[in-house]
A and B are shown apart, each in its own frame.
Chain A
């Protein structure tokens, strides 16, 4: 298996090579459960689009990109990627849309809440708030070093 990816909801998927069996994978044990057979052979990687969770796949048989239905294994051709043979990696870059900074109360208790499923927040590089978590009362003693919110 070469193709390996994660949905936005935290489910791990793999596609066996070259047969194209689509699996869900238990992240605690590695146990794979067959979901469907992908209708394109030689899938070498999959990646979920952060904006909407659509899973994409690349095949070295056709040198093309597809969307992949995670329930049925059906693919829809997006198009040939062109110019590269045996592409085995597929990934999305971080989004560039503006982010909503956390609300700060000058000098007072600070409250930050993650804005979405892929957000995280590091305060002065020390404290990381993970997706869905919030931390009321974190005092803003340090500047926000980064907020890769999306």
Chain B
């Protein structure tokens, strides 16, 4: 995981993995659930 971000509004922890893949991270167990690639729409 390259970086983590915590959404204090929803209480959700997110992580960015290699190749810009987005995960939701369980902040109690560290288990990561894949959400999807960060595909850039301009």
| Nearest-neighbor residue (CB-CB) of A47 within chain B | B5
* Min distance, Cβ A32 to any Cβ of chain B, angstroms: 4
* Min distance, Cβ B31 to any Cβ of chain A, angstroms: 17
- Over the window 1-30 of chain B, the binary record of Cβ atoms lying under 8 Å from chain A Cβ atoms (1 yes, 0 no) is 011111111111011100011101000000
Categorize the interface residue count of chain A: 20 to 34
Which one of A5-13, A63-71, A103-111, A138-146 is at the B interface?
Answer: A5-13
* Min distance, Cβ A51 to any Cβ of chain B, angstroms: 13
The number of residues on chain B lying at the interface, defined by a beta carbon within 8 Å of a beta carbon of chain A, is 26
Question: Are B8 and A25 within 8 A (Cβ)?
Answer: no
A16 contacts the other chain (Cβ, under 8 Å)?
yes
Question: Are B36 and A10 within 8 A (Cβ)?
Answer: no
* Cross-chain contact of B14 among A4, A23, A89, A128 (Cβ < 8 A): A4
A73 to B41, CA, bound (A): 17
* B interface, CB within 8 angstroms of A: 2-12, 14-16, 20-22, 24, 35-42
* A interface, CB within 8 angstroms of B: 1-6, 8-10, 12, 14, 16, 21, 23, 25, 27-34, 45, 50, 88-89, 117-118, 120, 128, 130-132
